[in-house]
Each structure stands twice: as C-alpha cells, then as structure tokens.
C-alpha cells in the first residue's frame, strides 16, 4: 500500500453547478474530512506541544482525546491553540473518570471560535498545553478532524478551468 498527497479539498458529489431547483440539478458537492493524530504522555505538560499542522483556510470539525493508559493522580486539563492563540479555555478531562481509559471530546471554540471556523490564511499549528501537572502516569492520543479548504476559507473555487 502506498501513500499519496493532494492539494485539497477533495470535493465529492455528482452535480458541480446548480442548474435548477430540484434534486439532481442543485450542486451537491461536499468536502472529505481529514484526520491527524498525536500520541502524548502525562509528561507532555506546560509548554505548547504540537498536535498537528493543518492547511490554511481549514475548518476544525472536532478534537477527541483517547486515553489509552489511565492517568494517575489527575486527568489532563488541556488548552488548545491555533498558531499560538487559544481557541479553548482550560478543558478538564472528566470523562472518562480518573483511572479509566476511553474517549473524551474536547470542546472547541470557547475562546476565539472564528479560528475554529477558519484557521487563517497560512498553515496552522494546532497545539496544546496540559496544566494538570500532578499526573504520575497516563497516555493518550489526540484525534483532530478538519476540512481542507482554500487558503481564503472557500470550499469551492470561484471559477473552474475547462
């Protein structure tokens, strides 16, 4: 199996241009989501640590944290950043419970939701800090889902080449 790259977004659907008012004649293209992951341990704490770098104009769909090794003493408390600007307040992981494994959803956009809707005109470094510094064990994986768009945030080109 091989890997390939593509300058996105990948648009899928059967009708590129709207020519009418009924299904089958109205544009139905949509973009495919992308995912990047980052494994961390309890010792990744106060300094901003990179989760992923995503293309300019992207929209962030969601961020999950999969706890693969239960945390001891304290679950993490994350703050998430786009190019150094906070897009969340400190988010304490309370579910799954301390000492458990499982999947936690990280609420995005509580601070600066506009950067969730469009990460900006340059590629964006998505990073985190963990302010719960008393953990003695634990590990997990961030799963960042996003949609690639043009660097101006457009989903569709304003014109197409023949």
Q: 32-147 has which fold?
A: Jelly Rolls (2.60.120)
Each residue of 1-56: pLDDT tens digit? Answer: 677 777 777 878 888 888 889 999 998 888 888 999 999 998 887 688 999 999 99
Each residue of 53-92: pLDDT tens digit? Answer: 999 999 999 999 999 999 988 888 999 999 999 999 999 8
pLDDT band, residue 161 (cuts 50/70/90): very low
Each residue of 91-112: pLDDT tens digit? Answer: 989 889 989 999 999 999 899 9
The domain limits of the chain are 32-147
In 3D space, the residue among 48, 49, 61 whose CA is nearest the CA of residue 143 turns out to be 61
Can you tell me whether residue 121 is helix, strand or coil? coil
Exposure string of 71-99, with b = 16+ CB inside 10 Å and e = fewer, is beebbbbbbbbbeeeebbeebebeebeee
């Amino acid at each position: 199996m091989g890997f390939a790259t593509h300058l996105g977004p990948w648009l899928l659907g059967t009708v590129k241009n709207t020519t009418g008012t009924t299904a089958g004649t109205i544009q139905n293209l949509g973009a495919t989501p992308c995912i990047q992951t980052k494994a961390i341990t309890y010792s990744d704490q106060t300094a901003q640590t990179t989760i992923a770098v995503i293309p300019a104009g992207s929209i962030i769909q969601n961020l999950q944290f999969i706890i693969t090794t239960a945390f001891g003493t304290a679950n993490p408390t994350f703050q998430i950043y786009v190019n150094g600007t906070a897009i969340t307040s400190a988010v304490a992981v309370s579910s799954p419970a301390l000492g458990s494994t499982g999947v936690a959803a990280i609420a995005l956009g509580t601070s600066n939701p506009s950067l969730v809707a469009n990460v900006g005109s340059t590629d964006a470094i998505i990073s985190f800090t963990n302010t719960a510094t008393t953990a003695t064990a634990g590990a997990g994986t961030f799963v960042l889902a996003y949609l690639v768009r043009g660097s101006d945030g457009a989903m569709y080109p304003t014109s197409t080449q023949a």
